[in-house]
Amino acid sequence: MTFSSEANQATYPFSLPNLPYDKSDLLPHMSAETFDYHHAKHHNAYVVNLNKLLETNIDLSSKTLEEIILASHNQPNLAGVFNNSAQVWNHTFFWHSMKKNGGDKPSGKVLEYIERDFGSYDKFVEEFKQAGATQFGSGWAWLVQDGAKLKVVKTANAEVPLTSGVQPLMCCDVWEHAYYIDYRNRRPDFIAAFLEHLVNWDFVEKNLK
């Protein structure tokens, strides 16, 4: 997968990637204020922290972002590197998982695969909402491709499906800082708005194998 290079995250030192839209483009479903905190502060902090951790690690600093994630996964002495590198990747992937005037039912190959593997689009929506709403604490809801089959999975904290060898297609961030400014404690309402108004199905199709 080469998503990291598309997101200006090829190699160290990493930088905060630009949003793929204006920070007001997702109104009224996601506010510019949310981006001021979520992108400019939270996401940027992961970038800054990762660069600091890589300053003295020559072996890892020569790798791509995805290679760093895979090399540091389940390595207790590299927990900080994994958490920050994975969160840089996850957030960038999340921004691209949305677009202005997105959401609603997809078409073409994406819909064909969803109906094949979930039974119907409505069943996919039900599973995705359930995954996001029941992720205890912080984490992510994902649509992934495992071999030829589409699945919904959820991950905790900084975990990313890349470490399980499956292909992420899109994700929804369900950490509280992703939705609290706009939705307060109503995580299910945020997930519903994400699916109905924000999902970038073109991005999903691009990620399909």
Q: What percent of the chain has pLDDT over 70?
A: 96
Q: What is the pLDDT of residues 111-130, one digit of tens each?
A: 999 999 999 999 999 999 99
| Tens digits of residue pLDDT in 54-98 | 999 999 999 999 999 999 999 999 999 999 999 999 999 999 999
For position 108, what pLDDT does the model report?
96
Domains of the chain (ranges; CATH) run: 108-207 (3.55.40.20)
CA 47 – CA 151 distance, rounded (Å): 29
Q: Which amino acid is at 113?
A: Y
Contact 141, 171 (CB under 8 A): yes
* Higher-confidence position of 197 and 6: 197
User: Do the Cβ atoms of 174 and 140 come closer than 8 Å?
Assistant: yes
pLDDT over 70 (residue 1): no
Distances (CA, A) of 187 to 50, 174, 182, 198: 28, 7, 10, 15
